């Protein structure tokens, strides 16, 4: 009896596939949603794909999305996934016009342990946005930069 049910399900699946009716695959749906015009749909898709390494290249593109919230979601997703290939993108974002994006980039580079970004963090100590400068200082401290060196960088505007 059990074998008959399994064979029947297999035949049904084959017939539906032949008829062009696909089974619901949440990963493929979420991958398509990464390209949706609605920022909320893109954000939801980012959160749905937290373990899908095949989506990382698209996530890196979303770091530059016109919607700040989408960019932040992508940044969070990538640094929490430990994606070191996104480091050059984060470095580019250190010069973004939006303070919240600069702050997210600092945070991501710090959490990824990117010591090569230390010179850029030092420049950001004098950023016009206090959150950016504070995050840069914290990142420098956490990356092991001596306090005297941080203070010197603050004074060299």
Hey, where are the domains in the chain? Answer: 25-81, 85-157
- Of 100 and 3, more confident: 100
Q: Whole-angstrom Cα distance, residue 121 to residue 105? A: 10
Q: What angle do CA 115, 119, 121 make, to 5 degrees?
A: 85
pTM above 0.85, yes or no: no
In CATH, the architecture of 25-81 is: Alpha Horseshoe (1.25)
Q: What is the pLDDT of residue 47?
A: 74
Q: Whole-angstrom Cα distance, residue 52 to residue 59? A: 10
Burial of 77 (C-beta count, 10 Å sphere; 0-12/13-18/19+): buried
Q: Does domain 85-157 have CATH number 3.40.50.300?
A: no
**Residues 27-82: tens digit of each pLDDT:** 777 778 878 888 888 877 777 777 778 888 988 998 999 998 889 888 888 888 88
* CATH topology identical between 25-81 and 85-157: yes
């Amino acid at each position: 009896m059990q074998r008959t049910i399994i064979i029947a399900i297999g035949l049904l699946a084959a017939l539906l596939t032949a008829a062009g009716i696909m089974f619901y695959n949440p990963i493929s749906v979420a991958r398509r949603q990464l390209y949706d015009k609605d920022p909320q749909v893109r954000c939801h898709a980012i959160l749905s794909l937290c373990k899908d390494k095949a989506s990382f290249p698209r996530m890196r593109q979303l770091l530059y999305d016109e919607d700040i919230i989408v960019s932040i979601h992508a940044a969070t997703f990538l640094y929490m996934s430990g994606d070191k290939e996104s480091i050059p993108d984060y470095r580019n974002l250190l010069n973004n016009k939006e303070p919240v994006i600069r702050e997210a980039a600092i945070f991501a580079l710090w959490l990824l342990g990117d010591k090569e970004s230390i010179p850029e963090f030092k420049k950001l100590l004098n950023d016009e946005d206090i959150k950016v400068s504070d995050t840069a200082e914290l990142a420098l401290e956490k990356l092991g930069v001596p306090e005297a060196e941080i203070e010197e960088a603050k004074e060299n505007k």
